[in-house]
Amino acid sequence: MSFVTDAVLADPAQAEAVLDLGAAPRGFRGRIRGLRAFASGGLPAEELERRLLELGFVEGAEVELLHQGLFGRDPIAIRVDSATIALRRREAAAVLVEPAP
């Protein structure tokens, strides 16, 4: 359940600071506020959410956008705590982050 997300989005003051990781520029550092999964690449929303969770995209984790590809700045390499995960911006959009202060 993405209860954190719902809370984040319900509060306009907080929602303003939150952006999706798919839109983040290279060098972005922040913290995961929630997941807002959607059906993508033939996967139902619930499955995408679980796959992201299994790779460590969990609320509270620190992220940094380390690298991006040449074409369409895609895919991207994200540092999630102690691991580096490569994924496409399309799926990264399911991860809501707030910038580090």
DSSP H or E run through 90: helix 89-92
Does 31 bind another protein (CB under 8 A)? Our answer is: no
Q: Give the count of beta carbons closer than 10 Å to the beta carbon of residue 68.
A: 17
Does 60 bind another protein (CB under 8 A)? Our answer is: yes
Does 56 bind another protein (CB under 8 A)? Our answer is: yes
Q: Count interface residues toward another protein (CB under 8 A).
A: 43
Kindly report the backbone phi and psi dihedral angles of residue 52, in degrees, each rounded to the nearest multiple of 5, phi listed first.
-65, -40
Least gap, CB of 95 to another protein (angstroms): 12
Nearer to another protein, 12 or 72 (CB): 72
d(CA 37, CA 54): 14
| Tokens 């992220």 sit on residue | 63
Binding site for another protein (CB under 8 A): 1-2, 35, 40-43, 46, 48-56, 58-61, 66-72, 74-75, 77, 79-88, 90-91
